Amino acid sequence: MDATINSGAPRVPWNKDKLTGQKSPLKLKEIWAIRIRLQLGAKTRDLAMFNLASDSKLRACDLTKLRVRDVCLGTRVAPRATVMQQKTQRPVQFEITEQTRDSVERWIEAARLSASDFLFSGRIHASPHLSTRQYARIVHRWIKSIGLDDTAYGTHTMRRTKASLIYRPEEWRGLRRPPLNPSLLARKRNARHLLETKQRPFARVPVPFVAAEG
């Protein structure tokens, strides 16, 4: 029996007509534009998610799996939190600003969440927390709401935004930005120290001349 040849349409690449590569961070005026729109629209969950994503600089897979106990001490949101990263299996600590703490506390109170609950629940019953795809759609909706082209932005935008505001090129010209992972920075510093130690010439100590006796 002759093999049948599939004459269907060719497969379309997933990245056709899409901008790939590093996503752009948000500027300060764009951050406030999104915050104001979320506040005016009474989007309590989205405002808490936006603020926490900016402060924590977490990946989407880590942000969507946050539980209430990860960011709270008792009934209050802590000023600092530590989360185990899914990709690297390393803990990362981040600061939670007062504005973010207020928005997260309002969301926890409005949603009546307990300490063991996921901070951002999903709409699908099979998944107790928000999926990364749902989070990506929410981020694109934020970008579109202020009139930006959402193809140049993504979930990694939220991870890069705070770092780009802290280390501005015009203020830190000539300086290299440290990586987001503090442990990677420490390893590079140790490697540079070892390299400098190996290349450092040995000090030449003069040996005093002692005359032979007899």
At residue 173, φ and ψ (nearest 5 deg) are -65, 130
pLDDT of 71 over the 70 cut: yes
pLDDT of 59 over the 60 cut: yes
pLDDT of residue 122: 79
Two tokens, residue 195: 């390299």
CA dist., res. 155 & res. 135, Å (int): 8
Domain-wise residue ranges, the chain: 28-166
Q: Are 80 and 74 in contact (CB under 8 A)?
A: no
pLDDT of 62 over the 90 cut: yes
pLDDT in tens, 148-192: 998 889 999 999 898 888 766 544 444 455 555 556 666 666 666
Q: Please, which residues have CB within 8 angstroms of residue 82's CB and are 6 or more apart in sequence?
A: 91, 92, 93
Higher pLDDT, 119 or 199: 119
Q: Of all residues in the chain, what percent carry a pLDDT higher than 90?
A: 57
CA geometry: angle at 27 spanning 168 and 19, to 5°?
105
CA geometry: angle at 120 spanning 39 and 183, to 5°?
100
pLDDT in tens, 100-124: 999 999 999 999 999 999 999 877 6
CA dist., res. 45 & res. 134, Å (int): 13
pLDDT in tens, 122-149: 776 667 889 999 999 999 999 999 999 9
| Pick from 19, 180, 29: nearest CA to 94 | 180
Please tell us whether the domain made up of 28-166 is placed in CATH 1.10.443.10.
Answer: yes
pLDDT in tens, 82-96: 999 999 999 999 999
